[in-house]
């Protein structure tokens, strides 16, 4: 590259990176956004866990209260039964012994029973329970009336007979209250179980919802954070393939957008350098053509004896000079041809083309060359029509065939196949040569690259034939690959079908 070009490239203004401005997530860096995503997901799952803990604590509290109420209710019912037995014993002893203290003991037991009933009434609030308490009170009043008017001592057996059904009914009422108390305990237990089941469903819904929302947040943040990385990777790939026509635009966190601006600056600078290089190569090639033509013309004049007869040694020197100047001029013309095709490869003139006929025409144009070398070219092609630039695609096929002819030994067979499906058509070229060395596979399409496996006795090529193939195929939106093969080189071209207007 000329010193002027280098100076122009080096004088390109350096970018000034500024901290991007923006609100919300756009103002955060990649690490900050990642931390925010983790914190948000953690808070979501932690909230669900906290709600579950509170719900379980509430159910546990209700269970403890229910157990305490059940124990208290059972104790109160048991106490009422005991007070009833104490009342009956005191009443019967009073009627037998006529001791006033026994009647007072009856009153104390009755008062205690009333207090117990009051406690039970706060728990057993059903109308049937209230009726039982009222009946119990009337029976106790009836027993008290008997004790207040027991009659003469000799006739108190009658009073005892009158007390028997009264206390029988009291014991029956106690049993009924016991049954109602058990039902109340069962209802409370059922209510606790129902509450537990409801809380279980709620917790399950919260956990599942939290997990689903966490997954959605993770996918959303992952897509939002990884998409810029994919753009960066794609941009670096385009720069590595010398494709500088598409601007680099990266969205997302602040640091990744800043990286995108750096890549855009790099793209512009590389595009400028590539343009300067192309211009320099074109100019220097044109400048070399004129003196090279003069050298060839002078060598031809010397060989023809215009300046006088030459000795055998002089004739050999002139021959070497003419052959090498012709080879050098051919390389200069190949270089100019590559620069022209590389510059115009993206400008396609698509038209409906019979690819099978195009392939046969390219093979026929080089028939003399492959027949002279004793080679066979076999075409295995199905009918295929596509919208392509037939002139540029003919150059692709001609370069692939020429490359195969150059490396195939005499008597070898070169196979060209053409296939298509609904999305694309494929062209394969398989030669009978030594193949491509494994260490050359990644760079075989690079401009001016010479592989290690060269055809014996042939002049080394310029290394631009496969580069031209790649440029034109990529302009069609396709790809060119080197496939693994047991013998010879296997190149495959895949070009998608162009949509009709």
Indicate whether 91 and 114 sit together in one domain: yes
Contact status, residue 453 vs residue 442, Cβ threshold 8 Å: no
Question: CA 150 to CA 102: how far, in whole Å?
Answer: 13
The three state secondary structure string of 413-426 is EEEEEEEECCCEEE
Q: How confident is the model at residue 26 (pLDDT cuts 50, 70, 90)?
A: low
Check: CB of residue 399 under 8 Å from CB of residue 471.
no
379: domain CATH number?
Answer: 3.30.565.10
Q: What is the pLDDT of residue 344?
A: 59
- 449 versus 311: which is more confidently predicted? 311
End-to-end CA distance of the chain: give it in Å, rounded.
44
Whether 56 and 194 map to the same domain: the answer is yes
pLDDT, tens digit (0-9, with 9 covering 90-100), for 101-145:
888 888 888 888 888 888 888 777 778 888 888 888 888 888 888
* Judgement on whether residues 49 and 148 belong to the same structural domain of the protein: yes
Q: In what order do the strands lie in the sheet with 490-496?
A: 376-381, 413-420, 424-430, 490-496, 479-483
pLDDT digits (tens, 9 = 90+) for 234-290: 888 888 777 777 888 888 777 778 888 888 898 888 888 877 777 777 677 667 767
Same-domain status, 38 and 169: yes
Bin 488: left if φ > 0, else alpha if -120 < ψ < 50, else beta: left
Same domain, 330 and 269: yes
Select from 212, 246, 270 the last residue of a domain. Answer: 212
Three-state secondary structure of 332-387 = HHHHHHHHHHHHHCCCCCCEEEEHHHHHHHHHHHCHHHHHHCCCEEEEEECCCEEE
Task: Give the rounded percent of residues in the chain with a pLDDT score beyond 90.
Answer: 3
Q: Could you tell me which residue, 424 or 276, shows the higher pLDDT?
A: 424
Average pLDDT over residues 281-304: 74
Most confident of 35-39, 327-331, 481-485: 481-485
Residue 169 has pLDDT above 60, yes or no: yes
User: How many residues can be counted in the chain?
Assistant: 501
pLDDT over threshold 60, residue 184? yes
- Same structural domain for residues 320 and 390? no
Asked if residue 63 is part of any domain, the answer here is yes
Residue 181 in domain = yes
Question: Cα(350)–Cα(343) distance, rounded to whole angstroms?
Answer: 17
pLDDT above 60 for 23: no
- Winning range, highest mean pLDDT, from 19-28, 333-342, 377-386: 377-386
Judgement on whether residues 490 and 396 belong to the same structural domain of the protein? yes
Does one domain contain both 180 and 110?
yes
Boundary (domain end) residue, out of 340, 360, 382: 340
- The verdict on residue 328 lying in a domain is yes
Same domain (yes/no): 311, 398:
no
3-state SS assignment for residue 460: coil
Do residues 199 and 260 both lie within one domain? Answer: no
Instruction: Please give the residue range of the domain that contains residue 366.
Output: 347-451+459-496
Domain with residue 282: its CATH number is 1.10.287
Indicate if 301 and 329 belong to the same structural domain.
Answer: yes
Across the strands, what pairs with 480? 493
Residue 10 in domain: no
pLDDT in tens, 437-491: 777 777 777 766 665 555 554 445 566 778 888 888 888 888 888 888 777 888 8
Q: Which residue has the higher pLDDT, 267 or 153?
A: 267
Instruction: Say what angle helices 156-240 and 100-123 make with each other, to 10 degrees.
Output: 30
Q: Are 477 and 495 in contact (CB under 8 A)?
A: yes
Domain match, 470 and 489 both: yes
Give the tokens for residue 354: 């019979």
Among 35, 32, 54, residue whose Cα is nearest residue 43: 35
CATH number at residue 83: 1.20.120.1730
Do the beta carbons of residue 250 and residue 235 sit within 8 Å?
Answer: yes
CA 25 to chain centre: 20
Quick check: 212 pLDDT over 50?
Answer: yes
Instruction: Of 87, 90, 91, 67, give the one whose Cα is nearest residue 79.
Output: 87
The reply to whether 119 falls in a domain is: yes
pLDDT > 60? residue 66: yes
Average pLDDT score, the chain? 78
* Residue finishing a domain among 311, 340, 369: 340
* Torsion angles phi and psi, residue 409, rounded to 5: -75, 160
Residue 366, pLDDT score: 87
pLDDT value at residue 140: 84
- CA-CA distance, 451 to 443, in Å (whole number)? 9
- Angstrom CA distances, 191 to 55, 170, 499, stand at 15, 31, 70
Q: Which of 20-29, 250-259, 330-339 has the lowest mean pLDDT?
A: 20-29
Write out pLDDT tens, residues 338-349: 666 666 555 778
Number of domains in the chain: 3
In a domain, 23, yes or no: no
Q: How confident is the model at residue 154 (pLDDT cuts 50, 70, 90)?
A: low
How high is the pLDDT of residue 2?
Answer: 40
Does 4 fall in a domain?
A: no
Share of the chain above pLDDT 70, in %: 84
């Amino acid at each position: 590259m000329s010193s002027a070009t280098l100076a122009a490239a080096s004088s390109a203004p350096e970018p000034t990176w500024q901290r991007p401005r923006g609100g919300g997530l756009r103002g955060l860096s990649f690490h900050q956004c990642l931390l925010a995503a983790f914190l948000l997901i953690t808070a979501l799952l932690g909230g669900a866990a906290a709600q579950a803990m509170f719900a379980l604590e509430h159910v546990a509290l209700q269970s403890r209260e229910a157990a305490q109420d059940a124990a208290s209710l059972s104790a109160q019912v048991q106490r009422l039964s005991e007070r009833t037995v104490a009342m009956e014993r005191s009443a019967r002893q009073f009627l037998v012994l006529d001791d006033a203290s026994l009647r007072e003991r009856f009153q104390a037991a009755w008062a205690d029973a009333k207090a117990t009933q009051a406690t039970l009434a706060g728990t057993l609030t059903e109308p049937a329970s209230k009726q039982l308490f009222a009946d119990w009170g009337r029976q106790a009043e009836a027993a008290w009336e008997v004790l207040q008017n027991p009659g003469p001592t000799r006739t108190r057996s009658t009073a005892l007979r009158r007390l028997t059904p009264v206390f029988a009914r009291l014991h029956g009422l106690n049993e009924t209250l016991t049954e109602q108390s058990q039902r109340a305990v069962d209802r409370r237990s059922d209510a606790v179980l129902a509450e537990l089941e409801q809380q279980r469903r709620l917790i399950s819904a919260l956990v599942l919802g939290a997990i689903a929302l966490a997954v959605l947040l993770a996918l959303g943040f992952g897509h939002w954070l990884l998409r810029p990385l994919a753009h960066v990777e794609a941009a670096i790939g385009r720069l590595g393939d010398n494709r500088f026509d598409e601007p680099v635009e990266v969205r997302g966190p602040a640091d990744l957008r800043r990286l995108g601006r750096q890549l855009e600056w790099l793209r512009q600078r590389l595009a400028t350098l590539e343009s300067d290089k192309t211009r320099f190569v074109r100019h220097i090639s044109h400048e070399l053509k004129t003196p090279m033509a003069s050298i060839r013309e002078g060598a031809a004049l010397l060989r023809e004896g215009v300046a006088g007869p030459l000795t055998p040694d002089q004739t050999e020197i002139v021959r070497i000079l003419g052959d090498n100047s012709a080879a050098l001029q051919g390389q200069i013309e190949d270089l100019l041809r590559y620069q022209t095709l590389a510059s115009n490869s993206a400008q396609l003139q698509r038209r409906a083309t019979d690819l099978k006929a195009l392939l046969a025409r390219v093979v026929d144009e080089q028939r003399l060359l492959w027949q002279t070398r004793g080679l066979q070219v076999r075409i295995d092609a199905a009918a295929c029509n596509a919208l392509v630039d037939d002139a540029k695609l003919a150059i692709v096929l001609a370069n692939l065939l020429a490359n195969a002819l150059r490396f195939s030994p005499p008597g070898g067979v070169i196979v060209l196949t053409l296939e298509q499906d609904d999305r694309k058509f494929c062209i394969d070229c398989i030669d009978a040569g030594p193949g491509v060395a494994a260490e050359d596979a990644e760079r075989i399409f690079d401009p001016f690259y010479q592989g290690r496996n060269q055809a014996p006795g042939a002049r080394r090529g310029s290394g631009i034939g496969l580069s031209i193939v790649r440029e034109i195929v990529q302009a069609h939106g396709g790809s060119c690959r080197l496939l693994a093969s047991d013998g010879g080189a296997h190149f495959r071209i895949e070009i998608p079908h162009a949509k009709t207007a």
